[in-house]
Structure 1
Amino acid sequence: AAMKQTKGLESDKKSIVKFEFNPKDGIDNPALSLAEDMDGEGVGEPRFYLLSKGSAETFGFSLHEELGCRGHIIRQVELGGVAQRRGLQDGDRLLQVNGQFVDHMDHQRVVQKIKASRNQVLLAVLDGDSYEAAKDLGKDLSQMLPTDIRPRLCHITRDKSGFGFSVSGPEGVKGTFQLAVRQHGPAERAGVPPGSWLLELNGTSVRSYSYAQLTRKLKQSGSKVTLLVASSAVEEFYRVRGLQATSALADISWLPFKVRELHMVKGPAGYGFLLKEDDCISGAIGQFLWDVDAGLPAEQAGMKEGDRLLAVNGESIEELDHQETVLRIRAHEDHVTLLVIDPAGDEFYQSVG
C-alpha cells in the first residue's frame, strides 16, 4: 500500500494521516511518511521510509555531500523508482539508517551502510528547510528520533523445562502472539524481551499462523529455535507507521554467530591466505578464504579455513567480482582489515533471511 499524508495538526500533538491504497505496490511492504508538523520554529518532523527492492534494482536515489550544504543530501530521485514511489524527495537530509543515527558520520561510511543493507533499508529523513532551520537553532537532531526501532533476532536452545517462554494471543486472531518470558530461562538468556511480540519463527513470518499452527511449528523446531521479536515500543513504531519489521532490519547482537573483523599487517611472506571464488549457500557467488598458513598474519588475526569474506576495509564486497575484491585487498600496500564469517554462521544467517 502506497500511503500519503495530509499535513498534520499540532494542536493536539497528533498527526492526521490519510491513507491511499495503490494495488500495484501490494500490501506487504507499505511505507508511511510522518506528517511534517511544524513546531513553531519552522522545524518539521522526521519521516520514515522502508525501501524494498529486487536484487537487480537500485533504491532509486543518490546520496550526495555538497559544498556549502550541510548533511547527507538525497538527490537524483528516479521517477517511478522505489524511493520516489515511497515519497523520498530531492533535498531531504538523511538522519538515520536502520535505526542508527548517521548525520555526524563520514559520508562514505553512510553510503556503505545503505549498500550493506542489500535489498531492504529503513531510512529517516528530514526535509531540507527543516534540517537547515534545526541546525541554525542548534538542535540535537538525534533527539528528534526514536533510539530503539530495531526488532531483535534471538536464537534459543531449550533446556529440560523448554525454551523458557509461553505464547498468548487473542482467540481466533491469526498472527498476533505475545511472549511471556521465564526469568533466567533460555529465552531470557538469548535476549528475548519480556512481553515482546513474535514476528518471525525460523525465518518465516507468523502473520498467517493460527495459535495451533504456531504451537506445531515450535514443536517441529527440535532443540533450537530462532525468533524475530519486537518489544512493545518497537512493535508500536512499525504498526502506527504501517511498516513491516523483518529480519533484514534486526539487531543481531544477541545471536551466537558473530562476524569477525581481522586486522592484518603484511609480513615478509605476505598475509598467508588464498582467496577463492565459489558458490555461497544462497546460490550466489562469494569470496572464500583458504590455505591459511600457520604462523603468518592471517592465522594470527584469527582467520579460519572456509571463512567467507564480507567486507574489505569497512566496505562491502558482496557486489564485487573476484578481481575487484583482490584489488580492494591490495589497495593499501602493507595492511588490510577484513570482515568475515565462518560457514556455520553463514548458513545460519541464510536460513533466517
Structure 2
Amino acid sequence: MGDLDLKPRLCTIRKWADFPGYGFNLHAERGRAGQYIGKVDDGSPAQAAGMKEGDRIVEIEGTNIGNENHSQVVNRIKAAGDSVTMLLVDSETDKHYKEEKVVVSSDMSDVVRIETPPRPGPEDDKDDEKPESDPPSEPPSYNDVQEADQEADQEDETPKPDRAPTPEPVPVDTPSHNYHPRLCLIRKWADFQGYGFNLHAEKDKKGQYIGLVDANSPAEDADLRKGDRIIEINGENIEDESHQQVIQKIKAGGDQTKMLVVDPEADEYYKNNGIKITPDLPEVIFNQTREKEVSERSSTPEPVSVPETSESHNFHPRLCHIKKWPDFQGYGFNLHAEKEKNGQYIGLIDANSPAEDADLRKGDRIVEVNGENIERDTHQQIIQKIKAGGDETRLLVVDSDADDYYRRNGIQIKADMPEVVASETRQKEVPAMTFHPRQCHVIKWPDFQGYGFNLHAEKERGGQYIGKIDENSPAEDAGLRENDRIIEVNNANIENETHQQVIARIKAGGDETKLLVVDKEADAYYKSRGITVTSQMPEVEFRQTARRSNAGTKVTNGDSAPASVQAPQQTRSEPAVQKSEPAQANGGDFLNLSAKEMRERIAQKKKNDPKQKSNMDFRSKFEIFQKM
C-alpha cells in the first residue's frame, strides 16, 4: 500500500428503510486503546459508506473519541439518529500517521469522504417502470418474439422476488445479544489510595463480586462497576477460589491488575445459555485506567467521602500470617492487656521483624489466633495458642479505629469478612554471610605444652572434629571451639582424609598450624545448600593466637604485655602433635600409636625401682638404704 492510499475516511452512514440498523458492530482489542469496527454486514449501509472491519474510530460527528469508553461511543452513535458521520482509519493508515506523529482529524485535506447512497423503496420502483402503451419503433422479428416468449415462460416458471433477502443486521453495540463481558485493566494512580473498589461475597450466590466503586478512582476509570462478578484475575479463572485467594491474586499484580467481569444481566444470559466466559469471546470489551500525568494531579487530592454504613467504610481487619525467620529470634512482638479494656493487645513491634513484615501493628486488638476466637481467653491461654503454631501463627487483628467502628455497629469481626485484608511475612532466605567459618591460626607458646586441643572422629557424621579445648590455651586464644568440624589444615582440604592423615598435617606445621573450621549450625547451613566451604570465602573470620615471648608476655603488634595465663604445670605432657615427647593424658600422641607401641611407651614411663631388681645382692641393697 503506497502513501497515496493511506488516507482517513469520513464515512456518513445513513439507515435504509428496508434495512434494520447500520449493519456493523463495535469491539475493543486487548492491549490496544480505542474503539474498533467489528463485523460489517454485506449489503449494509455501513458497507456502502466505505466502512471496513478493523477500522479504528477517530471521530464521531466531529468529536474525537480517543479517550472515551465503549459505552460513551455507543451513546454517541445512537444519539445521531438515522445518520452518523464517523472518521475512520484502517490499521496501515493508523500506523502511518502515528509514525509521522500526525493527529488525524476530519479537517485534513487528504480525508476521503464517502456517503451511503440513497436506496429506492418499492413505490419508487413502480414509478420507474415504462408505460406499456409506448409501441416499439420497429416490429420485432419472429426469432426475437420466439426468444422473448421462451424467456417469459422461464420467468413464469421461476418467479423472482422483488429484492434479494438482506442479512439480519447486528446492532451497533452488541455482537447479537447485547451482553458484553469487560476486561478491565486497572492501574493505580500515585495520588490515589489503592484501586478504589472493594470485594464482597453474596450468601445466596457463588463467586466474588465488586462492591462499591469509589468516584473518580482508577477502578471507575477502567469501567469497573458495582455488582460485577469476577471471572478472571490476571488471566487466571477464579470462580472456584476463596475470598482470600482472590485478594492475594489482586495484590500479586503490584500496581496494576486485570479483571474479567460481567454485570448481573450478562452473567444470567451466559449461565442460561451454558456459555463459558473467557477473554477470547469476540464481544469482550477492553477498558483500562488512563495514564495520569503528574501535572494533572492536585497537590492535595480531595478525599472520597464514604458513608459509614456502606461497605467501603475504609475499616479493614487484618489477618496477619507471621512466620519466623531463621536469623531472627522469635516473632518480634509482645502482648499486653489494658486495665480499662477487655482483650489482649499487641505491644511493641521489633523493627525489621517477621511481625512488622506481616503488617502487625502496635495497639492492635487480637480477635482470633489460628482460626480460633480468643476474645474470652486469658493472657496465658493466648500465649499457648500462639506457641502451638510452631514457627508460624495467624492473628486476626483490628486497630483501635476499626475496633470502635465494629463495636459501635454491633458487627462481629470474623476472618471471612469481605473487607479483611490478608498479609503474611515474606519468605526470607538466610544469606550465607550470617554464618562465618573461622580460619584459626594456632601458635604454640613457649611456656605452654602443645596447642591445647585434641581431635575426635564421629562415625555417624563423618569428618574430623575438635574435642576438648584446654582453658587458657593457644587453641582457645585462637578461637577454636569444641565440636568444630575441620575443613582445612594449613589451607589443604582434609574432609576426605583419615584421622592419621589429619594429625600428620597438623604436626607438619611445626609450632603453628592453621585450621579452617565451622560450628554445627554453619555446617548444617552450608551442607543443606551444597556449598563447599573454603578459606577464600568472603565471610570467613580470621583468628590468631596472640604470640608470647619467652618471658611469659603476650606480644601483639610489637607491644608486649604480661601474659594472663597461669604458670604451666611442670608435670604437663606435650600435645599430640609434637614428636618424641610424652603425649597428653587426654589423647595426644597416643592416638597415633598401635597397641603394641602404646604398651612399650607405658613401660618406659614406669619408675625404675632398684628394690625390684632380682639380681641385686644384700650389700647393694644396704648401701641404698644408708643413702636414703
Normalised TM-score (structure 2)? 0.24
**Larger RCO: Structure 1 or Structure 2 (Cα < 8 Å, ≥ 6 residues apart)?**
1
Normalised TM-score (structure 1)? 0.39
Higher radius of gyration, 1 or 2: 2
